[in-house]
Structure 1
Amino acid sequence: MSEKVQAKPNALWENVKVIVQALILAMVIRTVLFQPFTIPSGSMMPTLLVGDYIFVNKFAYGFSKYSLPFSPDLFHGRIFAGAPQRGDVVVFRFPPNPSIDYIKRVVGLPGDHIQVTDGVLYINGKPVPKVPDGSFTSDYAQDPGQDVPVFRETLDDGKTYDTLDQSPNSRGDNTREFIVPEGHYFMMGDNRDNSLDSRFDVGMVPAENLVGRASIIFFSLGNDTSFKEIWKWPANMRWDRLFKVVE
């Protein structure tokens, strides 16, 4: 004689509740606290590499409609707003097309005068110190960057980071003076000769477009390895970048 074991209705309902609660918790974490992003281009080399997976702290600057999934037009501006600091690496929505995420470094705050002259960044008429700091070679096929000169910049507040300067005569090495409007920010990529940023079509970034501050690299695959190619992970994992704080 065989017996069929059937789950009690109460047990099924408990399982459903657990799944729903887990989904709600995941949504809250993604909306309010941290959101994962992957780096698809070399504009932030050497700080961030193609194949880096990062967590972005969405609580750092408060919340706008772009903090929510699908960006519903529920309110304007920011709530619980916090201001980025100069030197922060920030994910934001591309002003001409807010459906696209960009990641750059904040170099200009509201009211600042920003200019690049002969490859040197000037903030309010003062050059940001730029000293040689070795060379960089990328493992990204579309941007190989063999032995690209690295320069370390140091801001007035002591924030320091590396930048790349592949060519002394790129179109972004000499710009007009930009004045950052109130409620906006001026962004630049650390890969100075290969970054579409506020010097070009990005323009000034409204505070509302900020998504969050890049906080930590939690995973990283080199050599153009797809996340789906699990069998390639051991050979292409950048072990030294795991859980590295973004500076």
Structure 2
Amino acid sequence: MKWFEIGLVSLTLLSGLIWLLDRLVFAKRRARRGGLLGSDEPVIVDYARSFFPILAAVLILRSFIAEPFRIPSSSMMPTLLIGDFILVNKFSYGLRLPINNHKVIAIGEPERGDVVVFRPPHHPDQDWIKRVIGLPGDTIAYRDNTVYVNGEAFDYSDGGAYEGRGRGQEMTGATLLREEMPGRSHEVLEITGLPFRDPGEGEWTVRPGHYFVMGDNRDRSDDSRFWGELPESQLRGKAFLIWMNWDGAAGGVGFDRIGRSIR
């Protein structure tokens, strides 16, 4: 995604520069040679004039308003399935410049339970998605499939055995739980009865300017339990809508997924 962003910015700047130079310099020279302003316009200028507004609009839309992403893995099941196409609000946590992700206008900060897209510190060229569990200053613990925040355990209710679909069928039989965090609830998956100690167990204190994120598919998620806290500077935005689902293994378009809000 980062290379697409670089390409979009480069093409927008290049087409805008060509169009501007022609308007300020070359078009006037052609006019002085006896033609009308803009007559005998070179093909490259015609393309630049046509495509610059479109490229600029796309750049502004995906950089500052909403950006589409596709879910490639099972780490956020059952909330998000493989093949979901989602929209991410790009201004929820401040306006950021494309490519370097530098925040230029502060608007808001993540809340516990938000589903966020970010670039992990150990894979800065990739876009990942997880749920915010810990805020700056929190002490997070994960033991016996239970999340604790500042010593208080989340409440859980058993939703029975989960039935996967398409490329997520490997999770069929996992335990579906409703996790109750302060002010918000959502579903998670746990594989119970494993014969070995959960490598994701531990306790962590979230540093200022960082967040602790976890996937809803607790036994199939590479998250803060393994690579540490997420720096605020790596946030990309807040996921809010599933606008399409395509999973060939599940028969193609999942119409029941379209239009679902992400909570």
TM-score (norm 2): 0.77
Q: Which residue of 2 aligns with 1:97?
A: 123
Name 1:242's counterpart in structure 2. 258
Show the counterpart of 2:209.
183
Identify the match of residue 137 of structure 1 among 163, 166, 174.
163
Q: Is the 8 A contact 2:81 2:168 kept in 1?
A: no
- Does the CA contact (< 8 Å) of 1:119 and 1:168 recur in 2? no
- Per-residue deviation at 1:140? 3.9
| RMSD of Structure 2 on Structure 1 (CA) | 2.3
After superposition, the C-alpha distances for 1:58-77 in whole angstroms (9 at most, x for unaligned) are 10001345xx1x337xx5x5
Query: 1:41-93, CA deviations, whole angstroms, 9 ceiling, x for partnerless residues?
Result: 0000000000000011110001345xx1x337xx5x56324110100000011
Name the CA shift for 1:124/1:78 in 2 (closer, same or farther; >3 Å).
Answer: farther
Instruction: Count matched residues.
Output: 222
Q: Is the 8 A contact 1:116 1:172 kept in 2?
A: no
- The 1:78–1:140 alpha-carbon spacing in structure 2 relative to 1, beyond 3 Å, is farther
SS at match of 1:17: helix
SS of the aligned residue for 2:61 comes to helix
Partner SS state of residue 221, structure 1: strand
Unaligned runs of 5+ residues in structure 1 are 1-7, 226-234
CA deviations on 1:169-220 (whole Å, 9 max, x unpaired) are 465476221000001000000000110100002x100100000000100000
Distance 1:78 1:132, change over 3 A: farther
In 1: Cα distance, 2:259 partner to 2:193 partner: 34
**Mapping for residues 51-70 of structure 1, pairs under 5 Å:** 51-64=83-96, 68=98, 70=99
1:18 Cα offset (Å): 4.3
Equivalent residue, structure 2, for 1:146: 172
What is the CA distance between 1:156 and its match in structure 2? 1.3
Q: Does 1:32 align with 2:64?
A: yes
Query: Which structure has the greater CA radius of gyration?
Result: 2
TM-fit CA distance, 1:246:
0.6
Bigger relative contact order, structure 1 or 2 (CA pairs below 8 A, ≥6 apart): 1
TM-score, structure 1 length as denominator? 0.82
| 2:227 is the alignment partner of 1:211 | no
Name 1:88's counterpart in structure 2: 114
Q: Percent identity?
A: 36
Distance in 1 separating the partners of 2:80 and 2:57: 29
Q: Does 1:164 align with 2:193?
A: no
